[in-house]
Amino acid sequence: MTKKPELDTAYSLKSPEDNKRLYAKWAQTYDHEFADHMGYALPARVADTFVSVVGSEKIGRVLDVGAGTGLVGQRLAAHGLAKIDALDISVEMLAVAASKGCYNAMIEGDLMGCLPIAADTYDFIISAGTFTHGHVDAAALDELLRITKPGGRFCLSINSAYFIPAGFEAAFERLAGRIHDLELRPVQFYLEGATGPHAKDNGVIALFRKSVT
């Protein structure tokens, strides 16, 4: 795995506008130059974990948060899931995701603001690679809980180096009355044998439910 300037830039983003500019530029080459070339396995690993956890429950509506070019959606579709919507801040990334034919709706939105989604809409929230350096911090969890049905399941990857600085540890403690069954599973972001400055990047997959009361 060689060092890619786009990844270093992504980890140092400061604002929603920075995100939009980078991903507008990166959208058409993201899958080949980054995901394939660098052995980026996180989307597949998060999707596989989701499917293994939800089991026979996987008949509800799923929102792929920070869907990007649709790598999570592709993997979920391969597992037979069909009721998947995509949310991302970048319309260019969403356009690439839409071309893959695995999503029902494409939603442009900023997780750090109010999403254009009604309360109690989704049965499942999944996300890979969004809660990391330069992207989205723990403040977004409240908005995601708002749009999720009571009892809905979450499957979110969080960068380990970002977990405490971005407030996730504190947020999970604060949300103890609104979520339950929290489990943090370790995950490596890249394939075994990857090389380069980010080859050992890792995190957790946060699994939990929205409380019903």
Kindly report the pTM of this predicted structure. 0.88
pLDDT band at 195 (very low <50, low <70, confident <90, very high): confident
Q: How far apart are CA 79 and CA 3, in angstroms?
A: 32
Domains of the chain in start order, with CATH, are 5-210 (3.40.50.150)
The first and second tokens of residue 190, run together, are: 């890249």
Q: How far apart are CA 10 and CA 84, in angstroms?
A: 26
The predicted pLDDT at position 3 comes to 42
Chain centroid, CA 183 distance in Å: 17
Amino acid at 198: H
Q: How far apart are CA 39 and CA 31, in angstroms?
A: 10
Q: How far apart are CA 213 and CA 205, in angstroms?
A: 24
pLDDT at 19 over 60: no
